[in-house]
Amino acid sequence: DQTASDTIDSQGVRVRFGAGMRHRIRAEVERLNCRRALVLSTPQQSEAALEIAELLGPLAAGVYGKAAMHTPVSVSKDAAAHARSVDADCLVAIGGGSTTGLGKAIALRTGLPQIVIPTTYAGSEATPILGQTEDGVKTTLSDPAVLPEVILYDPELVRSLPVGMTVTSGLNAMAHAAEALYATDRTAQTTAQAIEGLQAFADGLPRVIRTPDDLEARMQTLRGAWLCGTVLGRVGMALHHKLCHTLGGSFDLPHADTHAIILPHAIAYNARAVPHLLQPVCDIFGDENAGLALYRFAKRVDAPLALKSLGLKEADLDRATELATQKPYPNPQPVTARDIRALLQAAWAGDAPV
C-alpha cells in the first residue's frame, strides 16, 4: 500500500518502517513482480537470513551467506555467478553495511532489484555508493544502478546489535549528517534531514544503550540512520570521511569504531572555519563548541575514544598524515599536514579535540 503511513517514497525508493516489518517481505517481493529472491547475509547472521527465507517460502531462491567486510570483488563475482545459477530475479540483503554492499555489488553486475533489511545504522541502503576492495585496494563508485529499490526498517532486528556496535554504528551515522551540514552542495532539504538525523541519535542512542529492547527508541535511531544515510548519498563528504577512509583502508581499522573516534576531532577542526554551519550540533548536544559537544556525547555513550585502543601505533601517525593530505579535496578549514598531524595525535591518545 503506497499510501500507508509507515511508508515513504524517497525519490522513487520505497522505504518502510515498523516493528515486525520483515514479515511483509513476501508481499514486497511480489510487488516487484519477482518470484525468486536470493537472500544475502554474513556468516554471523545466517539465522536471520534463514528466517527471511522461511518467510519468503516458495519465493526464496536460497541464501548466500558469505558477505564480508570491505566488499571483496572475489566474493561479489562468486555471488553474482551464484545468483545467475539459481535464476534469482531479485536480492534481499539482511544485515549491516557489509551485506548491503554485497547486494549492491551483485546489482551492479546483474541489474537485479534489491530489497534491503538493515540491521545496523551504517546507512548504506540509502546511498548509490559502493566501496569495493581488490588486491588490498579500496575503490568507491557512485552509480544509480546500485541504489536499492526497497528498504524495510524493522527495529526488532536491531535489538541483537551488541551495545558496543550500537554506539559506534550510531556515531558512524551521525558523521554523515555532521559533514552534510557544511557540504558545498548542501540544500535546505539535506540540512533539515541532517539536523533531524542528529536529533534522532541525540535522543535515541542513550535510550537504546540503557534499554536495548526499547523498540520505540530503536525505531527512532533507525529513522535517524535512514536520514543520515540519505544525506550521505546526496552531498559530498569532506575531512572526516577522508580520514576514516585512509585509516580504514591503509591500517585496516574497524569501520564504525574509526568513525566514532574521529568524528569529534574532524568536526572541531572544521568548526574553526564554519562555526555558524555547525551551530545545529551545538544546539542539539548543548555545548558551545561542536567538536567538544560530540566528544562529550561520545564519552556519555561510552564510545571508544582513542585510535590506540584499535591497535594503531603512534609511529603510524606520520604516514597516516601523509596519506590523508596527499591529494587536495574541498574542506571548510584548509587541510595542512601540521594541523592533521595534531588532530590525529589527539584522536590517537583519546584526548579532547584540539
Of 10, 44, 46, 211, the one binding ligand NAD by CB under 6 A: 44
Q: Does 224 bind ligand NAD (CB under 6 A)?
A: no
The rounded distance, in Å, linking the Cα atoms of 246 and 321 is 9
The rounded distance, in Å, linking the Cα atoms of 125 and 66 is 18
> Closest residue to ligand NAD, Cβ-based?
97
**DSSP secondary structure letter of residue 206:** H
Nearest distance, CB of residue 91 and ligand NAD, angstroms = 15
- Is-contact 192 140, C-beta < 8 A? no
Question: Which CB atom, from 100 or from 289, has the smaller least distance to ligand NAD?
Answer: 100
Stretch that binds ligand NAD, among 125-133, 190-198, 270-278, 308-316 (CB under 6 A): 125-133
Q: Does 21 bind ligand NAD (CB under 6 A)?
A: no
Of 25, 72, 80, 98, the one binding ligand NAD by CB under 6 A: 98
Of 49, 52, 129, 346, the one binding ligand NAD by CB under 6 A: 129
- Is-contact 16 7, C-beta < 8 A? yes
Enumerate long-range contacts of 336-345, CB under 8 Å, 24 or more apart.
339/269, 340/243, 341/317, 343/243, 343/265, 343/266, 343/269, 344/243, 344/307, 344/317, 344/320, 345/317
Q: Does 177 bind ligand NAD (CB under 6 A)?
A: no
Nearest distance, CB of residue 352 and ligand NAD, angstroms = 25
Q: Does 131 bind ligand NAD (CB under 6 A)?
A: yes
Question: Which CB atom, from 45 or from 246, has the smaller least distance to ligand NAD?
Answer: 45
Q: Does 309 bind ligand NAD (CB under 6 A)?
A: no
Q: Does 148 bind ligand NAD (CB under 6 A)?
A: no
Of 7, 10, 46, 160, the one binding ligand NAD by CB under 6 A: 160
Q: Which amino acid is at 117?
A: I
The rounded distance, in Å, linking the Cα atoms of 260 and 132 is 22
Q: Does 101 bind ligand NAD (CB under 6 A)?
A: yes
The rounded distance, in Å, linking the Cα atoms of 74 and 91 is 18
Question: Which CB atom, from 172 or from 191, has the smaller least distance to ligand NAD?
Answer: 172
Q: Does 122 bind ligand NAD (CB under 6 A)?
A: yes
Nearest distance, CB of residue 181 and ligand NAD, angstroms = 18
Question: Which CB atom, from 101 or from 264, has the smaller least distance to ligand NAD?
Answer: 101
- Helices H / strands E in the chain, number of each: 14, 9
Nearest distance, CB of residue 16 and ligand NAD, angstroms = 18
Q: Which amino acid is at 300?
A: R
Q: Does 151 bind ligand NAD (CB under 6 A)?
A: no
Beta strand pairing call for 13-17 and 7-10: antiparallel
Q: What angle do CA 312, 273, 131 make, to 5 degrees?
A: 45
Read off the C-alpha cell for 234: 546526496
Interface residues for ligand NAD in 239-268 (CB under 6 A)?
255-256
- Is-contact 196 90, C-beta < 8 A? no
Instruction: Enumerate binding residues for ligand NAD (CB under 6 A).
Output: 42, 44-45, 69-70, 95-99, 101, 119-120, 122-124, 127, 129-131, 157-158, 160-161, 169, 232, 255-256
